[in-house]
Chain A
Amino acid sequence: MHEDVLKVQDVSRIYSTDGLKVNALRSVSLSIKGSEFTAIAGPSGSGKTTLLNIMSGLDTPTSGSVMLGGKPINTMKGSELSDFRRDHIGFIFQSYNLIPVLSVKENIEYIMLLQGIGEGERRTRVASILKQVGIEGMEDRLPRQLSGGQQQRVAVARAMVSNPDIILADEPTANLDSATGASLLDMMRELNEARGMTFVFSTHDTMIMDRARRLVILKDGKVAKDEVRK
């Protein structure tokens, strides 16, 4: 039985825009166990991206708490929060967000460089991850020399290479054609199975929902459905 990696407890998030208060999340509680492959889905405005941002410490809840690896990330600030994100969370963004001036290899190495990991260890890990995500031979290319699917594979590699506790992916297939998206998802699923890495997706893509072993549906900022599949 896997332990809880992430625990969201009674989290609410209220945005104030032009004097109007919007309840993006209303008392959401959710636990993510290690090795889960979870999709948080829901219609636009249901609060899935807000929940993912709060889970990662990129946004702070108006009330409630978020524990990652037993530590409350909603109270962390500045460098402490940066270091925590660097060491415990892997990100995959909708629009890849690779560093344009760094090569594939350097992009994958970036977090390890921030962590101060030695060159030998970095080289080994990069070589291994390049193989796993299927972009061997492209390590010296710049992001602009890659297709969208290839860029997203680099982003997956970057997210995984530092062995974080959890990988949070915000609409990772939104900018990809369905074939590329499916192939990328299959690859992530294989990695999840092979390495036991925890994935949480925010999505409204049925391909992700179909492949997820746990599906959390949000509606109007609340958990409407939480289903574990076999």
Chain B
Amino acid sequence: MVLIKIAFRNIFRHKKRSALTGLMMGGGCFLFAVFIGMVDGTYGNLIDMFTRDHTGHIQIHKKGYLDKPSIYKTLNGPGSIGIKIDSLAHIQSWAPRVYTPALAFAGKKTTGVKLTGIDPPKEERTTRIRHKVDRGRFISATPLNEVVIGDGLARVLKVDLGGEIAFIAQGADGSIANGLFTVVGITGKSEGAIGSSTCYTHINSLQEFLSLGGRVHEIAVVLMDESKTIRVVDLIKKALDDPLLEVEPWQVVESQFYRAMQADIKGNWYTIMVFTIIIAVGVLNTILMILLERTREFGVLKALGTRPFQIFLLIVLETACLAVLSIIIGTAAGIFANWMLSVYGITYSIPIEYGGVVFDRLTAKITLRSLVLPALIIFSTAILVSILPAIRAARIIPVKAMRST
């Protein structure tokens, strides 16, 4: 107890030096908290936009569809699959989809597109596709050969609301499918590169167009909590119990995006590592200075009967006390900054496209990670750095130490 008292009071003995070291540790804690908060906020946002805009948290396909998509790899009876999904925990909603590559013609313009058949009411409950319509309206709940296209595609084909687009594709029965669709809505510019091939129509219209009957290519599932994705994948697999179906989380469905995101997160850890080294050097410098200045004092403490381990403990406790004070201040400042960023964010002067999703605002999130990790990193670094000087102090020979000034 007396050692804790000495350690704590020693912090205030050299106020300026302690303030500088504390600033380094507290500042580091603050920076890490904001950094992790922004990473969590940005990626949380990114994942949310990515999954809620289109992908969903989980997708169900016929086995092999993800590796090599084909209009022939279909799911029979999406309704019965949906009933099984609905009975599971954590499910928010699901939506069936049909896909086909097609050639789009409008006047003299032509381009390749990806036609996506969606069930408007179900899709509305599952994703935010409906809210992406910038001009016009979303496709009707009844199949009326209507399409919603991306802003990019509208520009390529030079069509506007009310215009007609002819699609040609290969039907599931081997025939050449062709049909005329009316543009009822145009999605905004926020879809980036995807917007130049986006083309949504009613699932029944596309099933009829492709002669697919009631079959679909995909069922997208959205959960109430993204963090439960892997657990729910297992639940769905068990509930469906069909080896011909593949149930994959968004991390597998959009593996390229997920890998890029992971690499980016890894890069952030290197940044944290560099900062940690800088902080460690600063703290080490302070402790070595303490050791040098107080050699005589440690000699006296040893002469009076303080055990070597107690001297070791004193140095470590002193560092720990300063680290705890700095962490409290740094974390409080970090929480405040993350809260400000989560509410107001920072608007980019030029929006950034990542994985086909356009971002115009940097936000942060207050997560347990952003509170605990910086505190742990700073505290363990400070303690680790104090160990060697503490061992040196413990080994001090009193008679030599007391000769020093």
Contacts and interface: CB of A to CB of B under 8 A. Distances in A.
Contacts of A78: 307-308
Nearest to B394: A78
A69 B5 CA distance: 33
B308 A79 contact: yes
Contacts of B305: 82-87, 89, 111, 114
Contacts of B307: 78-79, 82-83, 114
Interface in B286-320: 296-297, 300-310
A91 B296 CA distance: 15
Considering residues A87, A114, A158, which has the most beta carbons from chain B within 10 angstroms of its beta carbon? A114
B316 to A, nearest CB: 17
Interface string A69-97: 00000000011001111110101010001
Contacts of A87: 305
Contacts of A79: 307-309
A22 B64 CA distance: 89
A100 interface: yes
The number of chain B residues touching the other chain, given as a range, is 20 to 34
Given A78-B308, A110-B304, A93 B2 contact: no
Interface stretch (A51-59, A180-188, A202-210, A216-224): A51-59
Given A59-B399, A83-B307, A111-B305, A93 B300 contact: yes
A89 B304 CA distance: 8
Given A53-B399, A113-B2, A114-B2, A91 B304 contact: yes
A127 interface: no
Interface string A27-61: 00000000000000000000000000100101100
A97 B143 CA distance: 93
Contact of A114 (B297, B303, B308, B310): B310
A194 interface: no
Nearest to A53: B399
A38 B306 CA distance: 27
A101 B2 contact: no
A146 B143 CA distance: 95
Interface in A83-127: 83-87, 89, 91, 93, 97, 99-102, 106, 109-111, 113-114
A82 B306 contact: yes
Given A99-B297, A101-B13, A111 B308 contact: no
B6 A99 contact: yes
B70 interface: no
Nearest to A80: B307
A211 to B, nearest CB: 25
Contact of B300 (A83, A97, A106): A97
Considering residues A58, A87, A93, which has the most beta carbons from chain B within 10 angstroms of its beta carbon? A58
Interface in B303-352: 303-310
A106 B5 contact: yes
Contacts of A113: 1-2
B109 interface: no
Given A56-B303, A78-B308, A86-B305, A93 B402 contact: yes
B304 A86 contact: yes
Given A58-B399, A99-B6, A101-B6, A85 B309 contact: no
B306 to A, nearest CB: 6
Given A79-B308, A86-B305, A114-B306, A102 B399 contact: no
Nearest to A59: B399
B398 interface: yes
Contact of B2 (A59, A97, A110): A110
Contacts of B300: 93, 97, 99
Contacts of B303: 56, 58, 85, 91
A93 to B, nearest CB: 7
Contacts of A59: 399
Nearest to A170: B402
Nearest to A88: B305
A83 B1 CA distance: 18
B18 interface: no
Contact of A101 (B10, B296, B302): B10
B9 interface: yes
Contacts of A111: 304-305
Contacts of A97: 296-297, 300, 402
Contacts of B5: 101-102, 106
B138 to A, nearest CB: 72
Given A58-B399, A101-B13, A82 B2 contact: no
Nearest to B13: A101
B152 to A, nearest CB: 70
Closest 6 CB pairs of A and B: A86-B305, A101-B9, A97-B300, A113-B2, A58-B399, A85-B305
Interface of B: 1-2, 5-6, 9-10, 13, 296-297, 300-310, 398-399, 402
12 contacts: A78-B308, A82-B308, A86-B304, A91-B304, A97-B296, A97-B402, A101-B6, A110-B304, A111-B304, A111-B305, A114-B305, A114-B310
Given A83-B307, A102-B5, 8 more contacts: A82-B308, A85-B303, A97-B402, A99-B6, A100-B13, A101-B9, A111-B304, A114-B306
